[in-house]
């Protein structure tokens, strides 16, 4: 799996953990091991520009996903996933920090960035949360992936509750 993490935010983040959780999520979703993903970490100003340009919404947001080849997980266990370019995930640590602090189960900026990375991966794979049933599926899968990754790393305590909408 080729995953690039590019921190342009000026914030100190755990780039290795973002890389690890992205790789874990793609593995869990059975994405071809030669697929490519880019994660870009930006400041609030850059995120606000992207949010306005692409979503026509003011203010910075936590995560945005820009799919390229529209890859999807294989429908059946025995099917092989196609190889390709997944796309870009853009994260904003400033928003992640605020969300982590305001979450019902307060957590760190890095924990929020882990959650948002998985959220971004799922969006690249075609998952959405516009409808209640879609939200239940996507957020359930997101929780399972984050919990599995945390367990594999020996992290204890509750995983962060979804804060993104």
Q: Taking a C-beta distance cutoff of 8 angstroms, is the pair 89, 63 a contact?
A: yes
How much of the chain, in percent, has pLDDT values that exceed 70? 89
pLDDT band at 78 (very low <50, low <70, confident <90, very high): low
Alpha carbons 151 and 111: distance in angstroms, whole number: 14
pLDDT tens-digit readout, 26-67: 999 999 888 999 999 999 999 999 999 999 999 999 999 999
Does the pLDDT value for residue 105 go beyond 80? yes
Residue range 17-30: mean pLDDT, rounded? 96
Which of 50, 21, 51 shows the shortest CA–CA distance to 122?
21
- The Cβ-side half-sphere exposure at 129, using a 13 Å CA radius, reads 17
Write down the domain spans for the chain: 2-152
pLDDT at 83: 77
- With 90 as the cut, is the pLDDT of residue 4 above it? yes
Q: How would DSSP label each residue in 48-97?
A: HHHHHHHH---S--SEEEEESS-----SSTTSPPPP-EEEEEEE-HHHHH
Query: Residues 129-154: pLDDT tens digits?
Result: 999 999 999 999 999 999 999 999 98
95-98, Cβ contacts within 8 angstroms, sequence gap of 24 or more: 95/44, 95/47, 95/60, 95/61, 95/62, 96/62
pLDDT of residue 73: 72
Report, as an integer, the average pLDDT of 81-100.
Answer: 91
**CATH 3.40.390.30 at 2-152, yes or no:** yes
Q: Grade residue 72 by pLDDT with cuts at 50, 70 and 90.
A: confident
Mean pLDDT of 90-113: 94
């Amino acid at each position: 799996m080729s995953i690039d993490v590019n921190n342009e935010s000026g914030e100190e983040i755990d780039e290795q953990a973002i890389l690890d959780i992205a790789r874990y999520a793609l593995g869990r979703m059975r994405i071809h091991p030669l697929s490519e993903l880019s994660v870009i970490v930006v400041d609030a100003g850059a995120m606000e520009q992207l949010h306005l340009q692409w979503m026509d919404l003011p203010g910075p947001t936590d995560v945005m996903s820009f799919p390229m080849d529209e890859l999807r997980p294989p429908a059946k266990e025995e099917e092989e996933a196609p190889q390709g370019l997944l796309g870009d995930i853009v994260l904003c640590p400033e928003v992640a920090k605020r969300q982590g602090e305001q979450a019902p189960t307060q957590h760190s900026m890095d924990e929020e960035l882990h959650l948002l990375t998985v959220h971004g991966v799922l969006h690249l794979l075609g998952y959405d949360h516009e409808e209640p049933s879609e939200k239940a599926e996507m957020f359930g899968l997101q929780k399972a992936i984050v919990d599995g990754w945390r367990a594999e790393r020996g992290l204890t305590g509750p995983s962060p509750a979804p804060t993104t909408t």
